[in-house]
A and B are shown apart, each in its own frame.
Chain A
C-alpha cells in the first residue's frame, strides 16, 4: 500500500484534501483549522472520543455540511460542488444508515446501480447472500447491523476510488466486522482504493489502516500506524522533576504521589525531548490504544 499522509502541497490531485477546515456549533468549536491530504491507495483511520467531531469532519469532507471556513476538495473539486464524474468515483456510508426504508435491498441496488458506470451487480448479489441478508425484505424492517451491511455493499458495489465510512463497524458483529476489514484491505491493496473510516475500535485501525488521525479538541494529530510506537512514548517523571516537564505535550496526567505522565513525541532529529534524560525519568513504549487514551482520556 502506498500510504502516505502529508501536508497540503498538491491537493488538487489528491482524492481528498482538507484545508483549514473550521466548524462549530452553539456549544463551541468542533473543528479548528483541520488540514489533511489523503493520497491514492492510503487507508486512514480516524479516531476520537464521542462528540469529538469525527462525523462533522466527514460530512464536511463529502459536502454534506458547509463549514464555517476552509474547504474540502475531492479529486480536486470543491466538496460542495461535485461533478458527476467525481461523484461516480466516490462512495460514502453514514453512521447508522437509514436511507430508502421503503425499498428492499434488491430494489435499492437496482435503483442506485443505474447511476454508477462500473456498478458490480454480481458483487452486490453475492455479498447479500454471504452476509445473510434477505434481498426481498424491506430495508426499514432490517436490524441496524443488517442495514449497515446493505449500505456497505451499496458503497463497495459502485467500485469507488475513494471510500469514506463513518463508523462502519459500529453495528456489526465480529464476523461481519472482520469481513468488512478484509474487504477494505483488499480494495486498497489490489484496486488502489483510497479509504477513510472513523472508528472507536483501535484493533480495527491496527488491522487495516496505513495511517491514523486522532481528532481531539478540534485538532488532528496524524501519523503512519507503523510509526506510532516509534514516534510517541509515555514519559514518567518523579514528583521532584515535574518542574522540568516539557510544556508542549500531547497528554498530561498528574498522579496522587505528585509524579507526572506525559505523552512525548520524537524531535525532527529522532531524539526524545531533554526531559527524558532527567534523573528518575522513565520512557515507556505506547500501544495505539494507550496512545489514544493518553491523548483523549
Chain B
C-alpha cells in the first residue's frame, strides 16, 4: 500500500481545470464562513461555519472526490488490483478527513456535536451518491434539500436542531451509505464505454469536461448525444416537407438538434423529459407556497411574474448559448453534415445557399427571443413600471439577440469565437442578466420599485459596452461570411 499514491489519488483522477474549480469553490465557502462569522447578527457562529463548510463538502464529493470512482473503474478494467485498492482506500480516507474540520468545530463548540457531524456526513454521502447514481435520478437530487424542507413542513420531518434529527439523520446516512456501496460496485463492474447512456452514473460525464468550464462548448457531440439517449427519447423527424423545393426545412433537418422538424409525437417526446424534470421542483414549489399563502390571486401573481420573468430572461440567454453551441458543433466537423450539404444538389447557387443557411440558423432562435421579450413586456407594462426598468429589460433581451447573431455569423463565416472568447461572453451576459433578474417581480404592485439610478446606469452602461463589442464581433463575422466561398466549409 503506497500512502503517497492514496493521497494523490484525487489529483490523478480529475482534470486540471476541475482541480482549480474545486479549489475556488472551497475558498469561496471558507470566505463565506468568515463573512458569516463577522457580519451575521443572528445564529450560532459554529453552526454557520459548519453550514458553509457543508456546502463546500457537497460540491467536493459530487464533482471532485467522486472522481476516484473513475480511477477504480479503469483499475478494474486494466486488471490493476493495487490501483483499485488505492482508489477505495483513498475514498474512505478522504471521507473521514472531510469530517475532521466539523469534528474540531463541534468539540470547540461543545454542544450539538452529533448533529453537526451527522450533517457533514450526510453532505459527504449525498455528494458521492449524486455522482454514482444513474443520471436520470441525479438530476432530481439537486432539489432534494428543498424536498426535505417542504416535507418537513407538511409531514413534520425533523430538521437540524430538532431533537429527533440524530435518529432520523443516522437512518438516512445508513441508507445513503448502502446506496453508495451498491452503486460503487455496480459502476466499477462495467467498462466506462458501456455506461455512457442516460442510466449511466453522473461521474462518467465529468470526463468530457462539462464541469471543467472552458471546454463545454467543444464537448457537445451529436453522435454521443444520440448514443446516450434511450430509443424512446430519440427525436422523431418530420420529413414530409423536405426536398429541393423546401430548402429551409432541408437545412433544418441537417442542422438537427432543436432545429429538426418533428412530428407531433416527436414534439411531445421532445418536451416530455423537460416537463417531467420540471414537474418535481414545480410540485415542491407549489406545495411550499400553498402552505404559506393558500390560493389567492394577490399572492400567486407576483410568484407567476417572477417565474415567467426568469424563464423568459434566462431562457433567452440559454437559447443563445444552446444555439451557438449547436452551430459551432455542426461547423466543426469535416466528416458530418457539411460535406453532405456542400455537395447536395437543389439548394441553389452558392450565394442563395449561403443566405438561406444564415436565415435558417437565425430565424427560429430570434423569433423565440422576440417572443420572450414581448411576453416579458406584456407581463410588466400593465403595472406602469419606470422607464429605466423597462429600458434595462429591453436592453438585456436585445443584447442576447445581438450575441446570437454575432456568434452565429462568426461560425458560419469561418471565424468562430475562441473558447476563451465564448467563455468571457457567457460570463458577461450571465452576470448582466443576473443583475436584471430582480426586475420582473419588483415592477408589480401599486407602486413598482425603481432600481437606484446609479445601479441602473451602471448596468445600462455595461450592456452598452457589451453590445458595442458584440456589434464589432458581428461586423467582422459578416465580412468573413461575405468572403467565404460557400456556407458549408468546416471550421475544424
Interface mask (A199-234 → B, CB under 8 Å = 1, otherwise 0)? 000000000000000000000000000000000000
Are B226 and A102 touching (Cβ within 8 A)?
yes
Contact B486 A81 (CB under 8 A): yes
Check A99–B340 contact: CB distance below 8 A.
Answer: yes
| Contact of A271 with B by CB under 8 A | no
Q: For residue A80, which residues in chain B have a CB less than 8 angstroms away from its CB? A: 350, 485-486
Whether, in the assembled complex, A66 has its beta carbon less than 8 Å from a beta carbon of chain B, the answer is yes
Are A102 and B260 touching (Cβ within 8 A)? yes
- Stretch of B84-92, B203-211, B238-246, B300-308 that contacts chain A: B238-246
Q: Is A103 an interface residue (CB 8 A)?
A: yes
A-B residue pairs in contact (CB < 8 Å), sample of 7: A64-B342, A85-B345, A87-B345, A94-B334, A97-B336, A99-B335, A140-B225
| Chain A contacts to B: CB under 8 angstroms | 59, 62-66, 80-85, 87-88, 90-92, 94-103, 107, 110-112, 114-116, 138-141
Q: Is the CB of B242 within 8 A of A114?
A: yes
Query: Are A90 and B343 in contact (CB-based, < 8 A)?
Result: yes
The complex places the Cα of A4 from the Cα of B171 at a distance, in Å, of 82
Known: A66-B489, A80-B485, A102-B260. A112 touches B340 (CB 8 A): yes
- Picked from B234, B260, B340, the residue with its CB within 8 Å of the CB of A138 is B234
In B238-269, the 8 Å CB interface with A consists of 239, 242-244, 250, 253-254, 256, 260
Number of A-B contacts (CB under 8 A): 107
| Chain A min CB distance to B195 (Å) | 15
Interface centre among B335, B336, B344 (most CB of A within 10 A): B335
Q: How large is the interface on B (under 10, 10 to 19, 20 to 34, 35 or more residues)?
A: 35 or more
What residue in chain A is nearest B490 (Cβ atoms)? A64
In angstroms, Cα B350 to Cα A95, docked, is 25
A218 to B227, CA, bound (A): 38
Interface status of B223 (Cβ within 8 A of chain A) = yes
How far in angstroms is the closest Cβ of chain A from B305?
37
Contacts A94-B339, A103-B237 hold; do A59 and B226 have CB atoms under 8 A apart? Answer: no
Given the complex of chains A and B, what is the CA–CA distance between A111 and B350 in angstroms? 21
Q: Is the CB of B335 within 8 A of A94?
A: yes
CB of B339 within 8 A of CB of A98, answer no
Q: Mark B216-238, 1 if CB is under 8 A from A, else 0.
A: 00000011011100010011010
Determine if B243 and A92 form an interchain contact, defined as CB atoms under 8 angstroms apart. no
Q: Given contacts A97-B336, A100-B340, are A140 and B227 in contact (CB under 8 A)?
A: yes
Q: Which single member of B225, B227, B337 contacts A99 (CB below 8 Å)?
A: B337
B338 within 8 A of A: yes
B235 / chain A contacts, CB cutoff of 8 Å: 102
A interface, over-half SS: loop
Could you give, for residues 312-350 of chain B, a 1 whenever the CB lies within 8 Å of some chain A CB and a 0 otherwise?
A: 000000000000000000000111111110111111111
Residues of A within 8 A of B242 (CB): 111, 114
Cross-interface CB contact of B226 among A65, A91, A141, cutoff 8 Å? A141
Chain B hits for A103, CB < 8 A: 237, 253
**Complex: chain A residue closest to B342, CB-CB:** A64
Contacts A66-B489, A100-B337, A138-B226 hold; do A115 and B344 have CB atoms under 8 A apart? yes
Chain B residues, CB < 8 A from A62: 339, 342-343
User: Shortest CB–CB separation between residue B242 and chain A, in angstroms?
Assistant: 6
Q: Across the interface, which residues of A come within 8 angstroms of B223, CB to CB? A: 98, 101, 140
Residues of chain B contacted by A115 (CB below 8 angstroms): 243-244, 344-346
Task: Indicate if the CB atoms of B349 and A83 lie closer than 8 Å.
Answer: yes
B340 touches A84 (CB 8 A): no
Identify which of residues 435-459 in chain B touch chain A, using a CB-to-CB cut-off of 8 Å.
Answer: none
Residue with the highest number of chain A CB atoms closer than 10 Å, among B239, B260, B342: B342
Q: Min CB distance, B220 to chain A, in Å? A: 12
Chain B contacts with A in 330-384, Cβ cutoff 8 A:
333-340, 342-350
CB distance from B252 to the nearest CB of A (A): 11
Say which residue of A59, A63, A92, A99 sits within 8 Å of B486 (CB atoms): A63
Cα distance, A141 to B346, chains bound together (Å): 29
Question: What residues of A have a CB within 8 angstroms of the CB of B340 in the complex?
Answer: 99-100, 112
Contact B343 A92 (CB under 8 A): yes
Neighbouring A residues of B336 by C-beta, 8 Å: 97-101
Asked if A98 contacts B244 (CB within 8 A), the reply is no
B227 contacts which chain A residues (CB < 8 A)? 140-141
Q: How far is the CA of A58 from the CA of B234 in the complex (A)?
A: 33
Within 8 Å by CB of B335, from A66, A84, A98, A114, lies A98
* B486: A residues at CB distance < 8 A: 63, 80-81
Chain B residues with CB under 8 Å of A97's CB are: 335-336
Besides the contacts A87-B343, A97-B336, what 10 more A-B pairs have beta carbons closer than 8 Å? A64-B334, A64-B342, A92-B343, A94-B335, A95-B335, A99-B335, A102-B226, A107-B239, A114-B346, A139-B226
**Are the CB atoms of A114 and B243 closer together than 8 Å?**
yes
Kindly supply a per-residue 1/0 record for chain B positions 25-43, scoring 1 wherever the CB is within 8 Å of any chain A CB and 0 otherwise.
0000000000000000000
Q: Per-position contact with A for B175-190: 1 when CB-CB < 8 Å, else 0?
A: 0000000000000000
Nearest CB in chain B: distance from A105 CB, A: 13
Q: Is the CB of A99 within 8 A of B339?
A: yes
Asked whether, in the complex, the Cβ of A98 is within 8 Å of the Cβ of B485, the reply is: no
Binary A-proximity of B450-492 (CB < 8 A = 1, otherwise 0): 0000000000000000000000000000000000011011100
A-B interface, 4 closest residue pairs, ranked by CB to CB distance from nearest: A140-B226, A87-B345, A94-B335, A80-B485
Residues on the B chain within 8 Å of A95, using CB: 335
Q: Report the Cα distance A83→B346, complex, angstroms.
A: 9
Select from chain A the residue with minimum beta-carbon distance to B231.
A138
Residue pair B244, A114 in contact (C-beta under 8 Å):
yes
Contact of A102 among B250, B256, B333, B346 (CB under 8 A): B256
Give, as a whole number of angstroms, the nearest-CB distance from B480 to chain A: 12
Task: From B227, B244, B334, B350, name the one whose CB has the most chain A CB atoms within 10 angstroms.
Answer: B334
Q: Are A98 and B333 in contact (CB under 8 A)?
A: yes
